[in-house]
Amino acid sequence: MPAHNEETTIGELVQACLDQPYPVEQLIVVADSCSDRTAEVARQAGATLVLETNFADKAANQNHALPHVTADVIVGFDGDSRPEPSCISLMVADIARGYDATCSSILPIQDSGFFIEARRFAYSLGSQWWRLCQRQVGRLQVLTGASYAFRTDVVRAVGGFPNGLISADMDITWKLHEGGYRTWYTADALTLTIDPETWAEYTAQMPRWAAGYFQNVLRYRRLMWNWRSMLTVGTAMFDLVTLWWWLVVVIYNLTTWQHLSMFRYMGYWFAGHTALTMYLVSRVVGWKKALIGFAPYTLLNFYNKYLYTRSMFREWLLGRHYAAWTGRSGRKTVITPMTPERRRGLGCAGAIAGTATAIWGGYLGSTLLWTTGMAASCLIPLSMIRLSGSGQRRATPSSLTIAAPSAGGDATRELPAAEVLDSETTLQLATRR
């Protein structure tokens, strides 16, 4: 159980695990960079072993605990989560069926609130649709880090929990896909977790998830050519792109007053989509909660798509990587700067594209195209000179310190930011040697 300042929840988590019908051989809590009584409360609640670290990194904490594990199955929970009865039994049963890793369903532990209702709706829809489809084709996008089960020998075989990306949970998932291991989703198992309740908390967490998604797709891009990966990641990308295409079509037709009949068919589609979505969610939380959560989920879905689109361009096009996050760890957001080589390359590409557009506009006699092309050929290269990252909430380090536990104690290594986020190499620095 990796935990950071979780004194209010860690005791309940430990007790919930001890109360599970499945016998727990060890219960290890890793209290990371805690300034409260997390470690003390965990010991009092009955944890077998409490490790206190200062990594400020989830994967490093999991790897720090890995040498102490003696059982053949690792079950992990976030420090602010609580498994429901039989959660461990159900996940371990799927491991016994021959799967190498699995995860449970997730729901918010809080009862109400705008963001809570939206997340409850999203979790419920995912458990009845997205995850079941991904499980069917054998390509889960992410084994939920808040509640998972792995075969211990499999985790050790892949070198421990991979480090270096902002989203460690998706990283270990695709590391297992890369190794040919079998993953599963234990839909009937349930874990409750604390979700963001305020705009500040929500906007701190979601950009990290968005950036982590595209970092992982980039790192494991060679796996994306597999048909299973194309079905899972490809449909997610299709969903992202079509939302903006739909908005463009709607705005165009409203401004030009053309093809208005399409709105009737869009209404049919929206009604059918809403009915199906509500039905699926109601199977998990009931019709009342489904009705309450539909509007918050729909509104935040547009914001989430914006975050994912922005992260895609920043991570893939600009090469600026999300390296640390605000979160409850209290650290400032760190986004690595664009390299000079990438700035020059994008500037040249923009100038060439702008010039080509201007020439094409002149050939067609289009003043709009010509003006747009000339503006792009001038403005894009100029903008590349200034896009190096700035602001109070964003730091642009040339290097990052990575925690690397060793037999002699805690050690750190200073590495270039580009190396830390290298998409070709999965860092194993936090694995005990």
pLDDT given at position 68: 95
| Structure token digits, residue 33 | 């960079």
Where is 209: in which H helix or E strand? helix 199-219
Collapsing DSSP states into helix, strand and coil, what is residue 395? strand
| CA 243 from centroid of its chain's CA atoms | 20
Average pLDDT taken over every residue of the chain? 85
Of 187, 176, 24, which is closest to residue 101 (Cα–Cα)?
A: 176
| Structure token digits, residue 171 | 């990283």
Model's pTM, two decimal places?
Answer: 0.83
Confidence of residue 407 (pLDDT cuts 50, 70, 90): very low
pLDDT exceeds cutoff 80 at 309: yes
pLDDT tens per residue across span 149-194: 999 999 999 999 998 888 889 999 999 999 999 999 999 999 999 9
Say how far apart CA 331 and CA 326 lie, in whole Å: 5
Of 385, 375, 387, which is closest to residue 320 (Cα–Cα)?
A: 387
pLDDT tens per residue across span 215-260: 999 999 999 999 999 999 999 999 888 888 888 888 888 888 777 7
Say how far apart CA 155 and CA 370 lie, in whole Å: 57
Q: Kindly state the average pLDDT of the residues 306-327.
A: 85
| CA 70 from centroid of its chain's CA atoms | 29
Q: What angle do CA 288, 291, 296 make, to 5 degrees?
A: 130
What residue has token string 């291991």? 181
Lowest mean pLDDT among 9-23, 90-104, 161-175, 256-270: 256-270
Q: Which residue has the higher pLDDT, 100 or 207?
A: 100
pLDDT given at position 242: 86
pLDDT given at position 343: 86
